[in-house]
Amino acid sequence: MNLKNARGPLLRSVAVGMVILSLLLSAITGCSQDKTDVKIMAAASLSDAFLEITEAFEAQTGLKTSLYSAGSATLATQIIEGANADVIALANEQTMDRIVVSEQVAPEYRIEIFASNHLVLVTPLGNPASILSFADTVGKKTAVCAPAVPCGSLSYAFAEQEGIELNPASVEPNVRSVRTKVELGEVDAGLIYKTDVTAGLEVIEIPELESLTTMYPIAVINGADLTAVGFIDFVLSEAGQAILGRYGFERPYEN
Amino acid sequence: MRTRKPTLIPPPIAIFGTFAMLLILVPFIGLAQRTPWGSFLSILGESSVRSAISLSLLVASVSAFICLILGLPLGWILARSQSLWMRLLRAIVLLPMVLPPVAGGTALLFALGRRGFVGQKLDEWFGITLPFTTTGAIIAATFVSLPFFVLAIETSINDLNRDFEESAMSLGSSPTRTFFSVTVPLIRTGLIAGLTLSWARALGEFGATITFAGDNPGRTRTLPLELFVALESDPNRAVVIGMIMIIISLGVLITLRGRWIGQK
């Protein structure tokens, strides 16, 4: 009975609603659809080196890139759940395998190994807990990466090799947050990559750590175009390798 | 009570209201349809998940208790004081509500961390360090949830008819006694709503906790942190932990709303 009167305003408000919603949606997608040619995801330990590499790549090719960094495990999960990226660079091969298994890596291109890295034991400046060896960290406050991220799997593998049980005060989601906790003096020591050492830290020499290396793979994600391959070629080129070298990364299979 | 005709929802309100509902509902449906119900119980039974659940309940409950003890007086002060300084203070007190929790955690770290200006003294004088301890996690949770409680108290006291308090005092009741035997019972609805909100906020706390208290299994690894860790290695576990959080929170909201808040 009331329907006839109600239908007019109902239709009109549906129409108005649709217009407003589509405006909103186009505003949102308009913001996210900037003209990026290569969307790169890189492990946290790569963030500084890759920032310089992307800048050099942009200067050379005139293409636009975007760089997103997080712990390798986080990146892998995001890719598996369908995150939009063209290239992914991770801090170990096991994490890349997770993505390969989920069939997110473009099968027509090789996964390249472009760098290697190893851990170092670091303390805050002044080494307040007087740590001189890995064994000295027992009973002290330490921070390490979570076992799920490459620096964490290296840390736990090293502890096992040394026969020492890790009992960290904090298990951090990526290598950069371990570094921060050590720099701030919240922990007495931490295991981070050699390439993440800053002037705000002291490095304790442990030769055994140097032989425990991790390899950095880089891959093209499904649906990416040839510019993604061009970016990987740039990383592998002399120019790309020189930048990585300046940040302390070693060339893979060199030693 | 007079019976009314069923309310007719005006079409624009129905449409936009539905979209609002969908925006909140759809992610939960996403989680529910991804939940591996077959392995739900086995994941729930894992010792790391159980310890995260009990730690979360402990942290949220202690934090809500601290909110009650500290937030009740603060809410009263904010509601009753008229000074300009109080208004500035009020803005600062409510800041953790709108601040990204990770910024709050950073602030806590620089104040109460081992080298923070207060934390340093705590370590020197009493040998207390807060990061990586359950106490640290409780402080982080209280920092973010206290404003919710204070705001609920302040609003309730503002809405209060002061005649009751004034007649109590004119009959010889002391201000303290008036507060506990007149004011508090009168604002009990707001108080319980505030407690629920701050408890729920503390239960879900992630950013300030991981920044300030770190991730220490058994001590600071609450359910949200357990979920975050699981998401990196085993998404199925992450989904189940998310479901557990939803069930706990929904249970609390429904129970409390039905019992105290919905029916005045």
Count Cβ atoms below 10 Å from residue A22 Cβ, excluding itself: 10
Question: Would an 8 Å CB–CB cutoff place A185 in contact with chain B?
Answer: yes
B241 falls within a domain: yes
The answer to whether B231 contacts A171, with C-beta atoms less than 8 Å apart, is no
What percent of chain A stands above pLDDT 70?
91
For chain A, how many structural domains are there in total? Answer: 2
Q: pLDDT averaged over chain A? A: 88
List the domain range (segments joined by +) for residue A150.
117-210
**Region A65-89 average pLDDT:** 90
- Do the strands A87-89 and A38-43 form a parallel or antiparallel pair, or are they unpaired? parallel
CB A219 within 8 A of CB A109: yes
CB B139 within 8 A of CB B65: no
Q: Is the pLDDT reported for residue B254 higher than 90?
A: no
* pLDDT value at residue A225: 87
Distance CA A83, CA A104 (A): 10
* pLDDT value at residue A19: 79
Q: Is the pLDDT reported for residue B165 higher than 90?
A: no
Closest CA to A214 of A237, A240, A180, A191: A191
**Region A89-107 average pLDDT:** 91
- Output the CA–CA distances (angstroms, integers) from residue A105 to A41, A224, B154, in the order listed: 13, 10, 55
Q: Is the pLDDT reported for residue A186 higher than 60?
A: yes
What percent of chain B stands above pLDDT 90?
48
CATH number of the structural domain spanning residue A97: 3.40.190.10
A146 falls within a domain: yes
Q: Is the pLDDT reported for residue A207 higher than 60?
A: yes
Same domain, yes or no: A102 and A181: no
Distance CA A129, CA A110 (A): 46
* pLDDT value at residue A253: 66
Question: Would an 8 Å CB–CB cutoff place A73 in contact with chain B?
Answer: yes
What percent of chain A stands above pLDDT 90?
62
B interface residues, A as partner, C-beta within 8 Å: 8, 10-12, 15-16, 19, 109, 113-115, 129, 131-132, 210, 214-217, 220-221, 228-229, 231-233, 235
- Do the strands A112-124 and A189-193 form a parallel or antiparallel pair, or are they unpaired? antiparallel
- Do the strands A201-204 and A112-124 form a parallel or antiparallel pair, or are they unpaired? antiparallel
A196 falls within a domain: yes
A31 falls within a domain: no
Question: Would an 8 Å CB–CB cutoff place A203 in contact with chain B?
Answer: no
Q: Is the pLDDT reported for residue A200 higher than 80?
A: yes
For chain B, how many structural domains are there in total? Answer: 1
Beta bridge partners of residue A214, listed in sequence order: A117
**Region B175-203 average pLDDT:** 91
The answer to whether B132 contacts A73, with C-beta atoms less than 8 Å apart, is no
Q: Is residue A4 very low, low, confident or very high in pLDDT (cuts 50, 70, 90)?
A: very low
Given CA atoms B139, B143, B144, B145 in this order, what sign does their dihedral have? Answer: positive
Q: Which residue has the tokens 């900037």?
A: A34
Distance of CA B192 to the CA centre of its chain: 12
Give pLDDT tens digits for B50-109: 999 999 999 999 999 999 999 999 999 999 888 888 889 999 999 999 999 999 999 999
Same domain, yes or no: A123 and A198: yes
Any residues with CB less than 8 A from the CB of B148 and at least 6 apart, and which?
A: B67, B97, B194, B197, B198, B201
Q: Which contacts qualify for A96-99: CB closer than 8 Å, 24 or more apart?
A: A96/A217, A96/A219, A99/A219
DSSP state of B7: P
* pLDDT value at residue B7: 75
* pLDDT value at residue A255: 42
Give ipTM to 2 decimals. 0.70
Distance CA A165, CA B205 (A): 30
**pTM for this model (two decimals):** 0.79
**Region A116-128 average pLDDT:** 94
Give pLDDT tens digits for B224-243: 999 988 887 788 889 999 99
A62 falls within a domain: yes
Of B214, B221, B235, the CB nearest to A169: B214
Q: Is the pLDDT reported for residue B203 higher than 60?
A: yes
* pLDDT value at residue A34: 57
**Region B142-162 average pLDDT:** 93
Distance CA A184, CA B211 (A): 12
CB A148 within 8 A of CB A199: no
Give pLDDT tens digits for B1-38: 566 677 788 888 888 999 999 999 999 998 999 898 88
* pLDDT value at residue A196: 92
Same domain, yes or no: A105 and A231: yes
**Region A24-35 average pLDDT:** 64
Most B-contacting residue of A2, A14, A99, A171 (CB-CB within 10 A), to test interface: A171
Q: Is the pLDDT reported for residue B263 higher than 50?
A: no
Distance CA B86, CA B80 (A): 10
* pLDDT value at residue A1: 43
Give pLDDT tens digits for A216-234: 999 999 988 899 999 999 9
* pLDDT value at residue B148: 94
Q: Which residues of A touch B17 (CB under 8 A)?
A: none
B12 falls within a domain: no
- Reduced 3-state DSSP string for chain A: CCHHHHHHHHHHHHHHHHHHHHHHHHHHHHHHCCCCCEEEEEEHHHHHHHHHHHHHHHHHHCCCEEEEEECHHHHHHHHHCCCCCCEEECCCHHHHHHHHHCCCECCCCCCEEEEEEEEEEEEECCCCCCCCCHHHHCCCCEEEECCCCHHHHHHHHHHHHHCCCCCCCEEECCHHHHHHHHHCCCCCEEEEEHHHCCCCEEEECCHHHHCCEEEEEEEEECCCCHHHHHHHHHHHCHHHHHHHHHCCCECCCCC
Residue of B nearest to A6 (CA): B11
A121 falls within a domain: yes
Same domain, yes or no: A67 and A176: no
Question: Would an 8 Å CB–CB cutoff place A23 in contact with chain B?
Answer: no
* pLDDT value at residue B3: 65
Distance CA B107, CA B117 (A): 11
* pLDDT value at residue B257: 67
Q: Is the pLDDT reported for residue B114 higher than 60?
A: yes
Same domain, yes or no: A206 and A187: yes
Give pLDDT tens digits for A34-75: 578 899 999 989 999 999 999 999 999 999 999 999 888 889
Same domain, yes or no: A188 and A236: no
Q: Is the pLDDT reported for residue A32 higher than 60?
A: no
**Region A123-135 average pLDDT:** 93
List the domain range (segments joined by +) for residue B65.
46-261
Same domain, yes or no: A162 and A124: yes
CATH number of the structural domain spanning residue B240: 1.10.3720.10
Question: Would an 8 Å CB–CB cutoff place A144 in contact with chain B?
Answer: no
Distance of CA A152 to the CA centre of its chain: 13
